[in-house]
Amino acid sequence: MAQKTVLRKPRGFIDVYKHKPGAEKDRTHYCPGCGHGILHKLIAEALEDFDLVEKSIVISPVGCSVFAYYYFDTGNLQVAHGRAPAVASAVSRANPDSVVISYQGDGDLAAIGGNNILQAANRGENMVVFFVNNAIYGMTGGQMAPTTLEGQKTTTTPYGRNIRTDGYPIQMCELINQLTAPVYIARTSLHDMPNIRKTRAAVRKGIQNAMNRKGFSFVEVLSMCPSGWKMDAVQSQNWIKENMIPRFPLDTYRDNSDQPYTVERPVPIMDPEEVRKILGFGSLKTANLRQNPDAVLRKVALRVSGFGGQGIMSTGIALANVGMEYGYNVSWLPSYGPEMRGGTANCSVKVQEETIGAAECTEPNMVIAMNQPSLEKFEKILVPDGVLMYNSTLIDIEPTRKDIKVYPVPITGMADELGDTRVQSMVSVGAFAAVTGMFDPGEIKSLMPVLFAGKSDKVMKLNEDAVQMGYDYVKDNFS
């Protein structure tokens, strides 16, 4: 007895197209003779056959397939024009076990989204891209696409595409085939049954690759657009065969599906204890606030200035760090924006008990000048009774103001004496501690593991010596 064949929709489709407005919830919105419906069906069948309906996510682009989400009984995201591969990249990374299907037309993929598709392909994102090439913008009413053929008339090429002004039809498979990462690249067509069968095989290969985490698969499908082309269905099929295929050869451009490589994605660590540990909680000293004995510097507003490479920024950061460990409020602001012009670098450091307002020291009460231009620039803006410490190794002029306290300190010279010019930052910090009386050199030394985390004991010892040397110099010469 002959078997009775029951025709039904593949289970990859929603039974009743509930998202589709209007009364006709059992048929698609596509025009008669359009290729989208055929490709949709091939995808839906594959999802059913591989039992992937529930774990698949379809990205609907802008264009005629903007409403792909009407049909697929999967997770669905409708996205901005051209951005399907970018969205799909994040969706795939968020759900590494899902099968992500990015579906795009030619304007969406090859024009406005041209970079996005190349970059997603180049990253080897785990997804399958179905690229419907019908050589025209369908949804917007038949304008030129990047794949429009030479001489083809569209509403924006009414005299035919002129390659001298509009360029050549773009060949995406060939372009993507220049990249190393993609695992599968194929171009097929929907114009007759043998080619639909080949398309079916390519669709299934792409979906299986996504399922097996093989990376990026790209399936370009030549597809009929009778409305856009102003032809009937049969003429459209013939037009593909006679005009599109010569320009867009059907081929499997690459198939590395059997390579053992699989895409790996990290598992987010969300456990609070683990997060605390990784972010370095609990490795820091407790606060130890002291009174600042120097009235002028009760609120330190310091400018450190010098040549790039003199450790200007690190001197400031070290002082802010020490201040913070002592329990003060601190801020550090690098020379930034318009101030960065010229060869000198400078930073503002504030150290005080009160909440800090402006971080930039427009009227500093202390300046550490490491070179002559810095002395000339910042001496002028010191407040009366302010402190000017300058690097007497490199500066041979005298400050001109008489209403400030001046500390010439051979900062570079002492660092060189220790055998490493780079330690002049910590010489400055030691000298600063002695001038302000804010910090004790012994305690600064105990902060070395914080200031030089990850550095060798030798480096720490050298910097400890630098702190002591700067401190002693000021104590011995200016007490």
Site for another protein in 267-306 (CB under 8 A): 267-270, 272, 275-276, 278-284, 287
Nearer to another protein, 197 or 276 (CB): 276
β-pairing, 300-307 vs 216-222, is unpaired
Q: Indicate whether 454 belongs to the interface with another protein (CB under 8 A).
A: no
Q: Indicate whether 119 belongs to the interface with another protein (CB under 8 A).
A: yes
The C-alpha atoms of residue 84 and residue 72 are separated, in whole angstroms, by 16
Q: Indicate whether 90 belongs to the interface with another protein (CB under 8 A).
A: yes
- Of the candidate spans 141-149, 304-312, 313-321, 425-433, the one that interacts with another protein by CB under 8 A turns out to be 313-321
Residue from 292, 314, 331, 346 touching another protein (CB under 8 A): that is 331
Q: Which of residues 419-448 bind another protein (CB under 8 A)?
A: none
Cβ-Cβ contacts under 8 Å for 122 (sequence gap 6 or more): 179, 180, 181
- What is the closest distance, in whole angstroms, from the C-beta atom of residue 294 to another protein in the complex? 20
- What is the closest distance, in whole angstroms, from the C-beta atom of residue 170 to another protein in the complex? 18
- DSSP readout, 15-55? SS-TTS-SS-TTS-SSPTT-SHHHHHHHHHHHHHHTT-TTT
Q: Which of residues 48-77 bind another protein (CB under 8 A)?
A: 54-57, 66, 69, 73-77
Residue from 43, 64, 91, 244 touching another protein (CB under 8 A): that is 91
Q: Indicate whether 355 belongs to the interface with another protein (CB under 8 A).
A: yes
Q: Indicate whether 333 belongs to the interface with another protein (CB under 8 A).
A: yes
Q: Indicate whether 457 belongs to the interface with another protein (CB under 8 A).
A: no
Q: Indicate whether 212 belongs to the interface with another protein (CB under 8 A).
A: no
Among 109, 131, 117, 15, which Cα is nearest to 70's? Answer: 15
- What is the closest distance, in whole angstroms, from the C-beta atom of residue 331 to another protein in the complex? 5
The C-alpha atoms of residue 72 and residue 344 are separated, in whole angstroms, by 62
Nearer to another protein, 78 or 156 (CB): 78
Within 10 Å of residue 250's Cβ, how many Cβ atoms? Answer: 19
**Binding footprint of another protein, residue count (CB under 8 A):** 71
- What is the closest distance, in whole angstroms, from the C-beta atom of residue 162 to another protein in the complex? 29
Nearer to another protein, 38 or 77 (CB): 77
Cβ-Cβ contacts under 8 Å for 411 (sequence gap 6 or more): 370, 391, 392, 393, 424, 427, 428, 431, 470
The C-alpha atoms of residue 322 and residue 445 are separated, in whole angstroms, by 10
Nearer to another protein, 348 or 371 (CB): 348
Residue from 34, 43, 86, 389 touching another protein (CB under 8 A): that is 86
Range 28-56 burial, b when 16+ CB lie within 10 A, else e: bbbbebbbbbbbbbbbbbbbbebebbebb
- What is the closest distance, in whole angstroms, from the C-beta atom of residue 176 to another protein in the complex? 15
How many helical (H) and strand (E) elements, i.e. helices and strands, does the chain have? 18, 13
β-pairing, 251-255 vs 184-189, is antiparallel
Q: Indicate whether 336 belongs to the interface with another protein (CB under 8 A).
A: yes
Q: Indicate whether 249 belongs to the interface with another protein (CB under 8 A).
A: no
Residue from 26, 49, 51, 94 touching another protein (CB under 8 A): that is 94
Q: Which of residues 12-31 bind another protein (CB under 8 A)?
A: 19, 21
Q: Which of residues 389-418 bind another protein (CB under 8 A)?
A: none
The C-alpha atoms of residue 219 and residue 186 are separated, in whole angstroms, by 5
The C-alpha atoms of residue 91 and residue 127 are separated, in whole angstroms, by 10
Could you tell me the CA-to-CA distances from 414 to 266, 427, 465, 469, 476 in Å, in that order? Answer: 49, 7, 10, 7, 14
Query: What φ, ψ does residue 101 adopt, rounded to 5°?
Result: -115, 115
Nearer to another protein, 117 or 244 (CB): 117
Residue from 359, 406, 459, 460 touching another protein (CB under 8 A): that is 359
Q: Indicate whether 358 belongs to the interface with another protein (CB under 8 A).
A: yes
Nearer to another protein, 139 or 201 (CB): 139
Nearer to another protein, 66 or 135 (CB): 66
Q: Indicate whether 357 belongs to the interface with another protein (CB under 8 A).
A: yes
- What is the closest distance, in whole angstroms, from the C-beta atom of residue 240 to another protein in the complex? 30
The C-alpha atoms of residue 184 and residue 218 are separated, in whole angstroms, by 6
- What is the closest distance, in whole angstroms, from the C-beta atom of residue 257 to another protein in the complex? 21
- Of the candidate spans 79-87, 135-143, 212-220, 395-403, the one that interacts with another protein by CB under 8 A turns out to be 79-87
- What is the closest distance, in whole angstroms, from the C-beta atom of residue 103 to another protein in the complex? 14
Burial of 334 from C-beta contacts in 10 A (0-12 / 13-18 / 19+): middle
Q: Is 215 helix (H, G, I), strand (E, B) or coil?
A: coil
Between 36-49 and 193-211, two packed helices, what is the crossing angle to 10 degrees?
A: 50
The C-alpha atoms of residue 258 and residue 34 are separated, in whole angstroms, by 34
- What is the closest distance, in whole angstroms, from the C-beta atom of residue 335 to another protein in the complex? 10
Q: Indicate whether 381 belongs to the interface with another protein (CB under 8 A).
A: no
Within 10 Å of residue 387's Cβ, how many Cβ atoms? Answer: 23
